[in-house]
Amino acid sequence: MPLLIPEHFPALGLLEKEKLVLPEIMQKDVQVRIAILNLMPMKVSAEADYIRLLANSPLNVEIRWMKLRSHTSKNAPKEHMETYYEFFDKLKDEHFDGLIVTGAPLEHLDFSVVDYWNELTEVFDWAHGHVKSTLYICWAAQAALYHFYHVPKYLLPKKMFGVFPHHLLIKGLPIFQGFDDEFFVPHSRHAEVRREDILKADGLTLLAESEDSGVYMAMSGEGREFYVTGHSEYEPYRLDTEYKRDLGKGLPIEIPMHYYRDDDPKNEPVVRWRAHSSLLFTNWLNYYVFQHVHLKP
């Protein structure tokens, strides 16, 4: 629960019923400072996802929201971005213990034509040299793997969409403390990175994968960077929202796999990834951002 965020931050309204953020939290001493570069189009819902998970740690965490000068969000209100987000070039001289870079709906584009690619890679390089550990999520994981290791992404014939079982390839790492042998992760993406490219890249370690959805997590620098291809942070109804959104737009979309009870979209989702998600973020904060004892000097 101990988070330091603005008192009237809009995402807090989504979390009031969960009692995750209390007014007295704002007065606690900060132990960990996290920057989040939120590239998701629906800012407030993504903000709530990460606040919810970072609030599970017993650490006192300050969150700062980062934006890029080379990109203007088309979906977030201008007032929201001006009030709560700060430009990378203003934040880069401050101290941060951890960085999270979210996904973005850009998988159909080559990285070189993304309008903010040059500034984004500046963020990647800054984080590598100045931040103890970074979580790259979904498209950001694909982008960072390409930037640092020239790992290509491949467009999929259809969207990887649903909740899939995964297994660990390396056990005993602090990031997996408390994990079961099999755990579930939501995926919602049109592209993938492949295990053979990860395995042949010097400095990369493949940590977890799925027989159905492929690579899930890779690591570099003994935890300086984690590349996570799924959306462990998603709240229970996010895939449902995406499915109905695409249906409403007339887009070709299949029912998310292993998500609705009896695979029937008239039924409620079966939530089976939240415990793993909480462990992932808590372990990352505790062992790689706060203690910082598993990185190479």
For range 205-212, the mean pLDDT: 98
- Give domain status of residue 250, yes or no: no
Nearest 5°: the CA angle 54, 235, 240 is: 165
* 1 vs 82, residue with greater confidence: 82
Is-catalytic flag, 233?
Answer: yes
Question: How is residue 287 written in tokens?
Answer: 């062992």
- Give domain status of residue 209, yes or no: yes
Q: If you average pLDDT over every residue of the chain, what do you get?
A: 90
- Give domain status of residue 208, yes or no: yes
Domain that holds residue 171: 3-239+273-290
- Give domain status of residue 130, yes or no: yes
Given pLDDT bands bounded at 50, 70 and 90, which one contains residue 92?
very high
Given pLDDT bands bounded at 50, 70 and 90, which one contains residue 184?
very high
Q: Determine which of 28-32, 62-66, 222-226, 230-234 has the lowest per-residue pLDDT on average.
A: 28-32
Is-catalytic flag, 231?
Answer: yes
- pLDDT tens by residue, 52-71: 899 888 888 899 999 999 98
- Give domain status of residue 134, yes or no: yes
Q: Which of 47, 107, 166, 231 is catalytic?
A: 231
- pLDDT tens by residue, 9-35: 666 665 665 655 544 444 457 689 999
CA neighbours closer than 13 Å in the CB half-sphere of residue 224: 17
CATH of residue 227's domain is 3.40.50.880
Q: At what angle do helices 43-54 and 274-283 cross, to 10 degrees?
A: 70
- Give domain status of residue 261, yes or no: no
Q: Which of 62, 107, 138, 242 is catalytic?
A: 138
Cα–Cα distance, 120 to 207 (Å, whole number): 25
Beta strand residue intervals within the chain, DSSP E = 3-4, 32-37, 61-67, 85-87, 98-101, 133-137, 154-168, 182-192, 204-210, 214-220, 225-228
Cα–Cα distance, 178 to 282 (Å, whole number): 11
- Give domain status of residue 248, yes or no: no
β-strand pairing of 61-67 with 85-87:
parallel
pLDDT at 23 (0 to 100): 45
3-state DSSP call for residue 194?
Answer: coil
Is-catalytic flag, 94?
Answer: no
User: What total number of domains does the chain contain?
Assistant: 1
> Residue 141 above 90 pLDDT?
yes
- pLDDT tens by residue, 236-252: 999 999 999 999 999 98
Q: Which of 62, 107, 192, 233 is catalytic?
A: 233
Residue 10: partners with Cβ closer than 8 Å, 6 or more residues away: 44, 47, 80, 84
- Give domain status of residue 246, yes or no: no
